[in-house]
Amino acid sequence: MKRLVLPSALWLCLMALLTIGQSAYAYNLPDFTELVEDAAPGVVNISTSRTVQRSSAPSIGGFGGQEIPEIFRHFFGDSFGDSFPTPPGSGQGRSEERQSLGSGFVISEDGYVMTNAHVVQDADEILVRLNDRRELPAELIGSDAQTDVALLKIDATDLPVLNLGNSDDLKVGEWVAAIGSPFGFDHSVTAGIVSAINRTLPRDAYVPFIQTDVAINPGNSGGPLFNLDGEVVGINSQIFTRSGGFMGLSFAIPINVAMDVADQLREGGHVDRGWLGVMIQPVSRDLAESFGMANASGALIADLDPEGPAAQGGLRAGDVIISVNGDEVDRSSSLPRLIGRVAPGSEVELTLMRDGEEVTETVELGHWPDSEKAEGEGSNNQVRLGISVAELDDTVRERLSIDGGVEVRQVEPGSVAAQAGLQVGDVLVSIDHRGVSSADELLSIVEGLPSDRAIPLRIYRDGRSLFVALRLE
C-alpha cells in the first residue's frame, strides 16, 4: 500500500485552517475582565469572631499539665484534648476566640450587605472589609437558617451596589462567574457554567438551588454568582465534597429567593412562611398507576394536621397535589418551597388528583410553626436526626399501652434516621434509654447526645415494639 504524501503547500493550508479554527474557538470564550472591574467593588470580605469557654489545659502524659503544644492542635484540630479530664485545681477555665471567614456583597448604597446565614452564625462580632480596605463593624439584621440567607448593616453611605438579575431566567449551560475570598484570598474570580437548576438538596427543602461547576472553596460562602451581564443571579452557599475542597459541584441560592428573604428580614427581622399542615411522600410509579395518573409526579398527602389549613380546607389523605397556583409540583420535594414562598393568610389554589379525577381546592395558608423563631433550637435539633414528629393523642397511647411517645411524621432521605431504618408512622418512645413524651423533650435529649457511638431507639411499628440503632453525624 502506498503512503499518501501531501504537497507542502497543502500542509501549510491545513495548518493555517487549524490555527484559524482554534483562534475562533478561543475568540468565542467569554471575557470576564469588564465584569470583574465593574462588580469587584461591591463584593466584600466578612470575618466573624466568637468567644468560647474552654477548660484549662488538660494533663496528658508527657505534658505535665502544661498547655498542649500548638503542633498537636495544628494536626488534630482545636478540640484535641477536650475529652480528657481537667486536673483538680486547674481553675475555672479560659476563654478562646474562634474566627471564620466568608464573603458577601452590597445590595444598597446605605450599607445593607447580604451573605450566608452560616457565615455569621453564633458570631459575637462581625467585620466587613470593603474593596477600598476599610473595615467596618456590622449589625446582624436577621438570618434565616432554612434558606441560609443573612442580612447585615454597616454604617456607610454611597457604597458600590451590585446589579441584581432574575434567577428565573437562568438556563443550563449558561456561563457564570463567582467573586469571593476562598481561604481568605480576597476578590478571587472563578468561572464555569450552570450545571442544573431547581436542584433539591437534603435538609434544604425551601431552596431550588442553582448547581454550577464554578470552583467554590471555604471563604467563598456568601459571595455573589454573576451572569455574563454582570448581574447577581445567586449566592454561593455550599459544595458537594469528599475531600473538603472543590470537586466540581457547587450550589448557589437563587437571587430571587434570597431577595424575598432579605426584604422580610429588613422589615421584621425574621421570615414568615406559609404553612399547609400536611405530611407528604413521593409518588412512585405503582402509586401513580393506582391513582389513575399518567406520570409519577406530585406530592402524595399521607397525613394531615387535623387543625391545619389543609384539613380545614377540605384536603384529605390520599390526595396528590400536582400544582400550586398553576406551578407544577413535579416531585414531592417541590411542594415545601412552593408553599413556603407564599405569605401566611394568603389563599392558594391547589390542583389535586382525587379518586382518579382532577379537582381544585382553595386553601388559606397558616403560619409556619417555626417562622416566628429566627433560629430556634428545635429546628436545628430536628435536622440532626433528620425527622419531624408530632405528639400522640390519648387514643393512640391507650391502644399501644404506653404513657408517652411521639409519631414520626417525616424522614429525610439520606438522614441518620433514614439510615437507621426509621419510617413514617413509627412511634418513638425512647432514645438512649430515656423516655420521650413530647417533641420538645425529644429535641432536648437529642441536643446532648454524643456523636461517637451508636444510640438505641425504641419504637412501635405495626403494634410491635422493636429497637433500632443510629449514629449521629
* pLDDT at residue 369 in the model: 66
pLDDT of residue 457: 84
Quote the pLDDT of residue 80.
44
3-state secondary structure the chain: CCCCCCCHHHHHHHHHHHHHHHHHHHHCCCCCHHHHHHHHHHEEEEEEEEEEEECCCCCCCCCCCCCCCHHHHHHHCCCCCCCCCCCCCCCCCEEEEEEEEEEEEECCCCCEEEECHHHHCCCCEEEEECCCCCEEEEEEEEEECCCCEEEEEECCCCCCCCCECCHHHCCCCCEEEEEECHHHCCCEEEEEEEEEEEEEECCEEEEEEEEECCCCCCCCCCCEEECCCCCEEEEEEEECCCCCCCCCCEEEEEHHHHHHHHHHHHHHCCCCCEECCEEEEECCHHHHHHCCCCCCCCEEEEEECCCCHHHHCCCCCCCEEEEECCEECCCCCHHHHHHHCCCCCCEEEEEEEECCEEEEEEEECEECCCCCCCCCHHHHHHHHHCEEEEECCHHHHHHHCCCCCEEEEEECCCCHHHHHCCCCCCEEEEECCEECCCHHHHHHHHHCCCCCCEEEEEEEECCEEEEEEEECC
Q: Residue range 32-36: average pLDDT?
A: 94
96: pLDDT strictly greater than 90: no
Q: Give the separation between CA 32 and CA 55, rounded to whole angstroms.
A: 50
**Are both 186 and 236 inside the same structural domain?**
yes
Cβ contact 464:431 at 8 Å: no
Give the span between the Cα atoms of 459 and 385, in whole angstroms: 15
Tally the C-alpha atoms within 13 A of residue 131's C-alpha that lie toward its C-beta.
Answer: 19
Q: What percent of the chain has pLDDT over 90?
A: 38
- Structural domain containing residue 461: 377-471
Which set of grid coordinates corresponds to residue 332? 414531592
Predicted confidence band at 469 (pLDDT cuts at 50, 70, 90)?
confident
Quote the pLDDT of residue 237: 93
**Do 299 and 283 fall within a single domain?**
yes
Q: Of the given ranges (223-227, 348-352, 355-359), which has the lowest mean pLDDT? A: 355-359
Q: Which of the pair, 367 or 222, is modelled with greater confidence?
A: 222
Q: Give dist(CA 61, CA 69) in Å, integer.
A: 13
| Last residue within a domain, chosen from 250, 268, 286 | 268
Residues 392 and 106: their CA atoms lie apart, in Å, by: 48
Q: Which residues contact 133 (CB under 8 A, 6 or more apart)?
A: none
The answer to whether 350 touches 315, Cβ cutoff 8 Å, is: yes
Of the candidate ranges 246-250, 285-289, 370-374, the one whose mean pLDDT is the lowest: 370-374
Chain segment 178-235, per-residue pLDDT in tens: 999 998 898 999 999 999 998 877 667 788 899 999 999 989 999 999 999 999 999 9
Q: What pLDDT, on the 0 to 100 scale, is given for residue 384? A: 66
Active site residue ranges: 118, 148, 221
28 or 371, which is more confident: 28
pLDDT at 59: 41
Does 333 lie in the same domain as 298? yes
Between 93 and 262, residue with greater pLDDT = 262
User: At which of 367, 400, 424 does a domain end?
Assistant: 367
User: What confidence category does residue 377 fall into, taking pLDDT thresholds of 50, 70 and 90?
Assistant: very low
- What is the pLDDT averaged over residues 390-414? 77
Residue 98 lies inside a defined structural domain of this protein: no
Residues 6+ positions from 265 with CB-CB distance below 8 Å: 141, 142, 143, 144, 149, 150, 151, 271
407, pLDDT greater than 90: no
Lowest mean pLDDT: which of 24-33, 50-59, 83-92, 326-335?
A: 83-92
CATH of the domain at 260: 2.40.10.10
| Cell reading at 104 | 458577601
Report the range of poorest mean pLDDT among 289-293, 311-315, 447-451. 447-451
Interatomic CA distance for residues 437 and 404, integer angstroms? 4
Range among 212-216, 368-372, 381-385, 424-428 rated most confident: 212-216
Residues 398 and 413 in one domain: yes
Domain at 464, CATH number: 2.30.42.10
Residues 6+ apart with CB under 8 A from 190: 177, 178, 214, 215, 216
* Range scoring the smallest mean pLDDT among 146-155, 217-226, 304-313, 404-413: 404-413
**Considering only CA atoms, which of 347, 359, 369, 284 is closest in space to residue 316?**
359
Least confident among 84-93, 136-145, 159-168, 337-346? 84-93
Phi and psi (nearest 5°) for 17? -65, -40
437 within domain boundaries: yes
**In this predicted structure, what is the pLDDT of residue 178?**
97
Express as a percent the part of the chain with pLDDT over 70: 79
Residues 188 and 227 in one domain: yes
Segment 129-163, tens digit of pLDDT? 999 889 999 999 999 988 999 999 999 999 999 99
Q: Domain tally for the chain?
A: 3
The answer to the question of residue 107 being in a domain is no
In a domain, 27, yes or no: no
CB-based burial of residue 449 (10 Å sphere; 0-12 exposed, 13-18 middle, 19+ buried)? middle
CB 111 within 8 A of CB 130: no
Last residue in a domain, options 209, 236, 268: 268
Most confident of 24-33, 52-61, 106-115, 414-423: 106-115
Give the β-pairing of 250-254 and 204-212: antiparallel
pLDDT at 56: 46
On whether residue 160 sits in a domain, the answer given is: no
Q: Which pLDDT belongs to residue 10?
A: 63
| 17: in domain | no
How far apart CA 439 and CA 389 sit, in angstroms, is 6
Tell me, what's the pLDDT at 42? 96
Report if residue 135 sits inside a domain: no
Within a domain: 141: no
- Give pLDDT, residue 440: 75
pLDDT bucket at 69, cuts 50 / 70 / 90: very low
Burial of residue 406, with CB atoms counted within 10 A of its CB: 0-12 exposed, 13-18 middle, 19 or more buried: buried
More confident residue, 60 or 425: 425
